């Protein structure tokens, strides 16, 4: 049986990773989950959090700010709105992301876009918790 | 007959023009490479997004609970056209061809009795459309300060467009941009954003039956706005690459034309110079003969 699967992490601006992995930890909208090879196909949206990719030897961690993940038996694809290596995620960068989320919230509120406001609020809170 | 000094001045001026167009061509070539790279880097995301949404949409399109972004507002009265052009000129027919396509569409819609609203991205398109359709414009997005188009720029536009859709300001949104094929070939394209259209993924056996978390409708509602952003982003990137490509070939042409002009002027210059020498000789000889 296959003990690895392909893992792709793409953001709108570039492809961040395309590797073989034994397991991937995904911060799903309704809770964290771990995808392993031959996982049943599913699709979930992401909340801001950390994606952990285990390739059997070591673990690579990425910070994502939202997006969605597609899991099938052969592989996992994460389409992240924004993603960076956790080792590169400094407090300043996270702070900047948070500020942008806040600015977005403000703009969304101006348009009375409750849906967007709710999403951004969650975004903000999670980012804040994460940066601590 | 033009005198020698005039000709010399003209040759020099064309030469310096050629230097400038040559430099611009090289700058455009360098920028084109970068623009192409970022357009290509963005492709996997857009592609994947399209596939996933296509699958989701197939199931949801006919359900009564389909989100408005997918099903539309049920009307077809107000059209929002987003016309994306460049901030700078000197890129051949790049802007004109986009504007031409948009103008055709506007005329067609107006003739059909629809209301048209315009959002322009990029100064050049606005300048061209302002004269005719100034009263239709509701917003202009200035990209003068944007060096490299980022996802953020697309997000800004998308947020605004989505907010307007939520406020029922329009029924159908279409974005106009130039699709990059090769350096010589850019095709002005119209892409409908809202309601969303998907190319039929066909009978692909590769798409398994997904479990959804949260449920299908929630995911769809979450993804559709993102898809609008992604499509705008793609349009902007394609536009960026097309602009540089168009500029590169326009400047290449200009450089070549300047070269031809220099050759022609140089021949004229030499002829004039010889004629002047001959003239002088005749004057000297006839002077000597008269003695």
Domain extents in chain B: 59-200+210-246
Q: Using one digit for the tens of pLDDT, what is the confidence trace for B108-159? A: 999 998 899 999 998 998 888 988 888 888 888 888 877 778 888 888 899 8
Query: By the 8 A CB rule, do A25 and A64 touch?
Result: no
Q: Tokens in use for A12?
A: 């709108």
Report chain B's C-alpha Rg in angstroms. Answer: 28
Cis peptide before B195 (omega within 30 of 0): yes
Question: Mean per-residue pLDDT for B31-48?
Answer: 87
Nearest by Cα to B198 from B11, B63, B44, B61: B61
B47 confidence band (pLDDT: 50, 70, 90): confident
Q: For residue A29, what are its two tokens?
A: 């909208």
Average pLDDT for B268-285: 94
pTM of the model: 0.83
Interchain CB distance below 8 Å, B167 and A111: yes
Residues of A with CB under 8 A from a CB of B: 8, 10-15, 28-30, 40-45, 67-68, 70, 72-73, 77, 79, 81-82, 100, 104, 107-108, 111-113, 115-116, 119
Tell me what pLDDT residue B203 has. 47
- Contact between chains at A79 and B49 (C-beta distance less than 8 A): yes
DSSP for B88-150?
Answer: S--STTHHHHHHHHHHHHHHHHHHTT-EEEEEEESHHHHHHHHHHHGGGEEEEE--TT-SS--
Identify the three-state secondary structure at position B83. Answer: strand
Same domain for A59 and A104, yes or no, is: no
B213 CB within 8 Å of a chain A CB: yes
My answer on whether A14 and A42 are in the same domain is yes
Range of the domain at A99: 90-131
What is the C-alpha separation between A119 and A47, in angstroms, rounded?
Answer: 9
For chain B, the average pLDDT equals 86
pLDDT at A109 over 70: no
Averaged pLDDT for residues B218-235: 85
CA dihedral A87, A9, A67, B236 (to 10 degrees): 100
Residue A112 clears pLDDT 50, i.e. is over it: no
Radius of gyration of chain A (CA): 15
Q: Please indicate whether residue B91 is annotated as part of the active site.
A: yes
pLDDT score of B176: 93
Q: What is the DSSP letter of A41?
A: P
Which residues of chain B neighbour A82 with C-beta distances below 8 Å? 151
Alpha carbon of A2: minimum distance to chain B alpha carbons (Å): 18
Residues A78 and A112 in one domain: no
Residues B94 and B11: their CA atoms lie apart, in Å, by: 30
Q: Tokens for A85?
A: 């290596």
Answer yes or no: do A43 and B213 touch at CB < 8 A: yes
- Contact between B80 and B41 under an 8 Å Cβ cutoff? The reply is no
The span from the CA of B283 to the CA of B290, in Å, is 11
Q: What pLDDT is recorded for position B143?
A: 84
Q: Which of B91, B119, B121, B158 is catalytic?
A: B91
Class assignment of domain B59-200+210-246?
alpha beta
Cβ neighbors of A39 (< 8 A, separation 6 or more) are A5, A71, A72, A73, A76
Tell me the mean pLDDT in the region B22-34.
93
Residue B168 Rama label (left phi>0; alpha psi -120 to 50; beta)? left
Q: Are B254 and B21 in contact (CB under 8 A)?
A: yes
Q: How far is B209 from chain A (nearest CA, A)?
A: 7
Judgement on whether residues A49 and A11 belong to the same structural domain of the protein:
yes
Q: How many domains does chain A have?
A: 2
CATH number of the domain at A38, please: 2.60.15.10
Phi first, then psi: give them for residue B218, nearest 5 degrees: -65, -40
Cβ <8 Å between A10 and B45: yes
Q: Residue A113 pLDDT more than 60? A: no
Residue among A14, A43, A107 minimizing CB distance to B159: A107
Average pLDDT over residues B92-111: 92
How many Cβ atoms are within 10 Å of B118's Cβ, its own excluded? 24
Provide the strand spans (E) within chain B. Answer: 78-84, 115-121, 137-141, 172-180, 186-194, 211-213
Cα distance from B213 to chain A (closest Cα, Å)?
A: 5
Give CA–CA dist B139/B82, Å, rounded: 10
Rounded to the nearest angstrom, the minimum Cα separation between A113 and chain B is 7
Report which of A48, A32, A30 is spatially closest to residue A104, judged by C-alpha positions: A48
Nearest in space to A66 (alpha carbons), one of A92, A99, A29: A29
The closest alpha carbon to B181, from B21, B32, B1, B45, belongs to B32
Q: How far apart are CA A43 and CA B25, in angstroms?
A: 46
* Structure tokens that stand for A128 in this block: 């804040």
Are B38 and A13 a contacting pair, CB within 8 Å?
yes
Half-sphere exposure of B125 (CA within 13 A, CB side): 34
pLDDT at residue A39 in the model: 85
Contacts of B133 (CB under 8 A, 6+ apart): B103, B106, B116, B118
pLDDT tens digits, A64-100: 887 888 888 888 888 888 888 877 766 677 767 767 7
Mean pLDDT score, B242-247? 92
pLDDT tens digit sequence for A23-73? 898 888 778 888 888 888 888 888 888 888 988 888 888 888 878 888 888
List B212's β-bridge partners, or say none. Answer: A43
The complex's ipTM works out to 0.72
């Amino acid at each position: 049986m296959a003990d690895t699967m392909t893992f792709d992490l793409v953001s709108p601006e570039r492809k961040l990773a395309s590797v073989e992995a034994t397991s991937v930890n995904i911060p799903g909208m309704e809770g964290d989950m771990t995808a392993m090879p031959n996982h049943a196909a599913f699709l979930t949206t992401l909340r801001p959090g950390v994606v952990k990719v285990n390739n059997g030897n070591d673990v690579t961690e990425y910070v994502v700010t939202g997006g969605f993940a597609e899991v099938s038996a052969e592989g996992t694809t994460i389409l992240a709105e924004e993603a960076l290596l956790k080792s590169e995620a400094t407090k300043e960068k996270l702070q900047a992301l948070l500020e942008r989320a806040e600015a977005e919230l403000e703009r969304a509120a101006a348009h009375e876009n409750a849906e967007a406001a709710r999403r951004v609020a969650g975004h903000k809170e999670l980012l804040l918790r994460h940066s601590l | 007959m033009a005198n020698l000094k005039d000709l010399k001045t003209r040759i020099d001026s064309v030469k310096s023009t050629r230097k400038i167009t040559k430099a611009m061509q090289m700058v455009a070539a360098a920028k084109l490479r970068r623009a192409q790279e970022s357009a290509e880097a963005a492709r996997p995301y857009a592609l994947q997004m399209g596939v996933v949404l296509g699958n989701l949409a197939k199931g949801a399109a006919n359900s009564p609970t389909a989100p408005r972004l997918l099903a539309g507002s049920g009307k077809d009265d107000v059209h929002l056209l987003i016309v994306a052009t460049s901030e700078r000129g000197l890129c051949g027919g790049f802007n004109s061809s986009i504007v031409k396509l948009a103008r055709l569409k506007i005329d067609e819609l107006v003739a059909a009795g629809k209301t048209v609203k315009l959002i322009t991205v990029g100064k050049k398109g606005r300048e061209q459309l302002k004269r005719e359709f100034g009263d239709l414009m509701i917003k202009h997005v200035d990209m003068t300060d944007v060096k490299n188009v980022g996802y953020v720029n697309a997000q800004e536009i998308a947020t605004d467009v989505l907010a307007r859709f939520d406020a029922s300001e329009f029924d159908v949104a279409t974005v106009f941009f130039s699709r990059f094929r090769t350096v010589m070939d850019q095709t002005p394209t119209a892409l409908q954003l809202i309601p969303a259209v998907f190319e039929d993924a066909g009978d692909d056996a590769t798409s398994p039956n997904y479990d959804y978390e949260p449920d299908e409708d929630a995911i769809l509602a979450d993804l559709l706005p993102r898809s609008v952003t992604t499509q705008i982003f793609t349009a902007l990137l394609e536009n960026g690459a097309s602009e540089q490509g168009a500029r590169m070939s326009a400047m290449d042409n200009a450089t070549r034309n300047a070269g031809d002009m220099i050759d022609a002027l140089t021949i004229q210059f030499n002829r004039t110079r010889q004629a002047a020498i001959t003239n002088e000789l005749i004057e000297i000889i006839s002077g000597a003969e008269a003695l």
